[in-house]
């Protein structure tokens, strides 16, 4: 038995942020098309039945209009629901969110705080219930106590926030159960029903658990706790497998109980403000799109670094390594958004189609275009920082990379020959995630004498700093004011903290809200996942089969020097470590 089909599994994206779920929350600004209002009765009748039958596999209602045009209406839209006569008044439905693995680190650190932030800003539906589910024995009060320790008042730092927290915590409950027990999920179902009070019930199961138990949970929840009259969605946390085969097996397992539209695979980097802004920057600014190709761009750098090691997560990390942990997902997703062609619309499927195309156009990764590293112990100012292998959960002879750099090439007309350099590492000197776009030298530059021989110092560079301290800045050359002719480099800087004093929501807030609303744009589709693993699996296998030893780098350093040689091979300097910074 599969989960009951979502009533309105799909929603279209609009340029302006629009927040409407499948019949829930605030309504999207979706007006019934004018052509519909004057449509003949038979057309309306057919649309009505399509909207009513909006199942997991039907993402849009489509009809040919009398003048031969194609009318498509997202089945989640108000227009579709209005046509179908589906009532969606807030009084009549509930959303229940079950955090499976509620006793764990991610639930405490990210999921409950994000849910509270959504509640605090009034983004959760009127009737919602949150359940924590895990094996640990806990009462509702103990769950609330645990959760309360990690909630923060992002919006309202005054007394009011305390009240809001209390109200939120009253809507949080706990159910202890095994992950493979249908009976335990049936007991959860009973409790959920009590809270839903006979209303139309929509349910989300957030799998915040190790991946080896995903299928058990999906099976039990599907058989015993799926909504019978609304939609049921499952949010899945990475890792989605550790290579092509295991990922495909996981997808097959999930699809025994779910259809693709019910699966929301999280890559939380897609929920980061500046990653979401990437398409806006490209496609809404005339000045950038014409430059976005091999003609003007010399190289693109995608950089992720953390100033702490794998402390506490060594057991997990040693089975994955930095390529699987960060490159195959977060950095590749950013690359895809950066390099894709213009999508036909902002609809989730159109965007994901373009992302898949560009990932599939990347040339196979060559071992000689990859550098791996592992951090070693380092003493600084009297403090000794541990080596990766000092972690007791990591084998002392582990070859797992905690750092990797790679040069990728996209085999298409736009990007032919442009190196896309990725670099990701733990225990480095700083925490940052950024995209650096280095432009070509100015041909026949009149001012080259003023720059000396190092023309790189004079190239324009666009930096999109995803975190911390979000910013987008463009390095330009300008004259130093005065009577002489001396040149300088300056940044045209959109510094978010200065421009937008309001705190930026955490990625998990955006993604949870999207999942509630049925917006799939920021979630990974199964063919995207397949193409990402197709790209990285041969390289990962080669590294493992050849037992390639990582270059050791001191904890807190800038990483292995091999990364500089790799960049130099393509005539590139890393923008974050050279004198240009």
Ligand X SMILES: O=C1O[C@H](COP(=O)(O)O)[C@@H](O)[C@H](O)[C@H]1O
- The catalytic position among 175, 268, 330, 564 is 330
Residue 246 binds which entry of ligand NDP, ligand X, none, with Cβ cut-offs from 5 to 8 Å by kind? none
The residue among 80 and 433 lying less far from ligand X, judged by its C-beta, is: 433
CB 572 within 8 A of CB 298: yes
Spatial distance between the Cα atoms of 298 and 152, rounded to a whole number of angstroms? 43
Q: Which residues contact 522 (CB under 8 A, 6 or more apart)?
A: 267, 270, 271, 276, 510, 511, 514
Among 78, 171, 77, 76, residue whose Cα is nearest residue 124 = 171
Q: How far is the CB of 451 from ligand NDP (least distance, A)?
A: 44
Q: How far is the CB of 560 from ligand X (least distance, A)?
A: 19
The residue among 238 and 521 lying less far from ligand NDP, judged by its C-beta, is: 238
Angstrom distances, CA of residue 574 to CA of 303, 436, 565 = 9, 9, 10
CB 129 within 8 A of CB 97: yes
DSSP string, 91-150: GGEEEEEEEETTTSHHIIIIIHHHHHHHHHTT-S-SSEEEEEEESS---HHHHHHHHHTT
The residue among 426 and 520 lying less far from ligand X, judged by its C-beta, is: 426
Q: Exposed, middle or buried by CB within 10 Å (0-12, 13-18, 19+), for 461?
A: buried
Using CB positions, name the residue nearest to ligand NDP: 104
Binding site for ligand NDP (CB under 6 A): 101, 103-107, 134-136, 179, 208-211, 213, 237-239, 316
Q: How far is the CB of 99 from ligand NDP (least distance, A)?
A: 10
Spatial distance between the Cα atoms of 298 and 101, rounded to a whole number of angstroms? 45
Residue 354 binds which entry of ligand X, ligand NDP, none, with Cβ cut-offs from 5 to 8 Å by kind? none
The residue among 179 and 574 lying less far from ligand NDP, judged by its C-beta, is: 179
Residue 210 binds which entry of ligand X, ligand NDP, none, with Cβ cut-offs from 5 to 8 Å by kind? ligand NDP
The residue among 105 and 194 lying less far from ligand NDP, judged by its C-beta, is: 105
The residue among 306 and 347 lying less far from ligand X, judged by its C-beta, is: 306
Q: How far is the CB of 117 from ligand NDP (least distance, A)?
A: 17
CB 461 within 8 A of CB 425: no
Q: How far is the CB of 238 from ligand NDP (least distance, A)?
A: 5
Structure tokens at 522: 């920021």
Q: How far is the CB of 307 from ligand NDP (least distance, A)?
A: 16
Give yes or no: 495 in active site.
Answer: no
Residue 104 binds which entry of ligand X, ligand NDP, none, with Cβ cut-offs from 5 to 8 Å by kind? ligand NDP
Spatial distance between the Cα atoms of 460 and 316, rounded to a whole number of angstroms? 41
Full 3-state SS string of 231-248: CEEEEECCCCCCCHHHHH
Q: Helix H segments across 370-487?
A: 448-451
Binding site for ligand X (CB under 6 A): 268, 306, 325-326, 433
- Exposure string of 78-98, with b = 16+ CB inside 10 Å and e = fewer, is bbbbbbbebebeeeebbbbbb
Q: Exposed, middle or buried by CB within 10 Å (0-12, 13-18, 19+), for 25?
A: buried
Residue 237 binds which entry of ligand NDP, ligand X, none, with Cβ cut-offs from 5 to 8 Å by kind? ligand NDP
Residue 306 binds which entry of ligand X, ligand NDP, none, with Cβ cut-offs from 5 to 8 Å by kind? ligand X
Among 534, 4, 521, 57, residue whose Cα is nearest residue 260 = 57
The residue among 134 and 424 lying less far from ligand NDP, judged by its C-beta, is: 134
Residue 253 binds which entry of ligand NDP, ligand X, none, with Cβ cut-offs from 5 to 8 Å by kind? none
Q: How far is the CB of 468 from ligand NDP (least distance, A)?
A: 17
Q: Which residues are catalytic?
A: 330
């Amino acid at each position: 038995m599969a989960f009951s089909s979502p009533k309105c599994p799909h929603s279209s994206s609009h340029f302006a942020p629009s927040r409407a779920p499948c019949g829930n929350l605030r309504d999207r600004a979706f007006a019934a098309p004018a052509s519909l209002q004057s449509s003949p009765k038979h057309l309306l009748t057919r649309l009505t039945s399509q909207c009513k039958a909006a199942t997991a596999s039907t993402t849009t209602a489509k009809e040919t209009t009398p003048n031969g045009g194609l009318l498509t209406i997202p089945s989640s839209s108000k227009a579709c629901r209005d046509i179908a006569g589906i009532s969606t008044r807030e009084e009549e439905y509930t959303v229940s969110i079950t955090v499976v693995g509620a006793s764990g680190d991610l639930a405490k650190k990210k999921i409950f705080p994000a849910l509270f932030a959504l509640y605090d800003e009034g983004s959760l539906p009127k009737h919602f219930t949150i359940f924590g589910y895990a094996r640990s024995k806990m009462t509702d009060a103990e769950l609330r106590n645990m959760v309360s320790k990690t909630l923060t008042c992002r919006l309202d730092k005054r007394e009011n926030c305390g009240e809001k927290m209390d109200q939120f915590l009253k809507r949080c409950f706990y159910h202890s159960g095994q992950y493979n027990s249908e009976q335990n999920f049936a007991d959860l179902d009973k409790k959920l029903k009590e809270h839903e009070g006979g209303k139309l019930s929509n349910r989300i199961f957030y799998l915040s658990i190790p991946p080896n138990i995903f299928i058990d949970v999906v099976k039990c929840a599907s058989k015993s706790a799926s909504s019978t009259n609304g939609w049921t969605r499952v949010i899945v946390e990475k890792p989605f497998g550790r290579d092509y085969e295991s990922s495909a097996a996981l997808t097959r397992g999930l699809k025994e109980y779910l259809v693709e539209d019910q699966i929301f695979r999280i890559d939380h980097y897609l929920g980061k403000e500046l990653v979401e802004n990437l398409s806006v920057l490209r496609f809404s600014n005339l000045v950038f799109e014409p430059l976005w190709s091999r003609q003007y761009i010399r190289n693109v750098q995608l950089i992720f670094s953390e100033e702490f090691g794998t402390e506490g997560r060594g057991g997990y990390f040693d089975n994955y390594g930095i390529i699987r942990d960060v490159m195959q997902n977060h950095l590749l997703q950013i690359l895809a958004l950066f390099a894709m062609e213009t999508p036909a619309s902002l609809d989730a499927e159109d965007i994901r189609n373009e992302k898949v195309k560009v990932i599939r156009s990347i040339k196979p990764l060559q071992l000689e275009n990859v550098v791996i590293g592992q951090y070693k112990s380092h003493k600084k100012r009297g403090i000794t920082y541990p080596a990766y292998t000092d972690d007791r959960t990591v084998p002392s002879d582990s070859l797992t990379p905690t750092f990797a750099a790679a040069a990728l090439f996209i085999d298409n007309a736009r990007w032919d020959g442009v190196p896309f350099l990725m670099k990701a590492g733990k225990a480095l000197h700083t925490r940052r995630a950024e995209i650096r776009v280095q432009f070509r030298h100015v041909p026949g530059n009149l001012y080259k004498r003023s720059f000396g021989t190092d023309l790189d110092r004079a190239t324009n560079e666009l930096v999109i700093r995803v975190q911390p301290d979000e910013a987008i800045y463009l390095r330009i050359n300008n004259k130093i004011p005065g009577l002489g002719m001396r040149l300088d480099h300056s940044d045209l800087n959109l510094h978010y903290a200065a421009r937008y004093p309001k705190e930026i929501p955490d990625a998990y807030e955006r993604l949870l809200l999207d999942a509630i609303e049925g917006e799939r744009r920021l979630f990974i589709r199964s063919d995207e996942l397949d193409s990402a693993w197709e790209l990285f699996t041969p390289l990962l296998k080669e590294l493992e089969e050849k037992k390639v030893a990582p270059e050791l780098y001191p904890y807190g350093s800038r990483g292995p020097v091999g990364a500089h040689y790799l960049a130099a091979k393509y005539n590139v300097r890393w923008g974050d470590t050279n004198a240009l910074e």
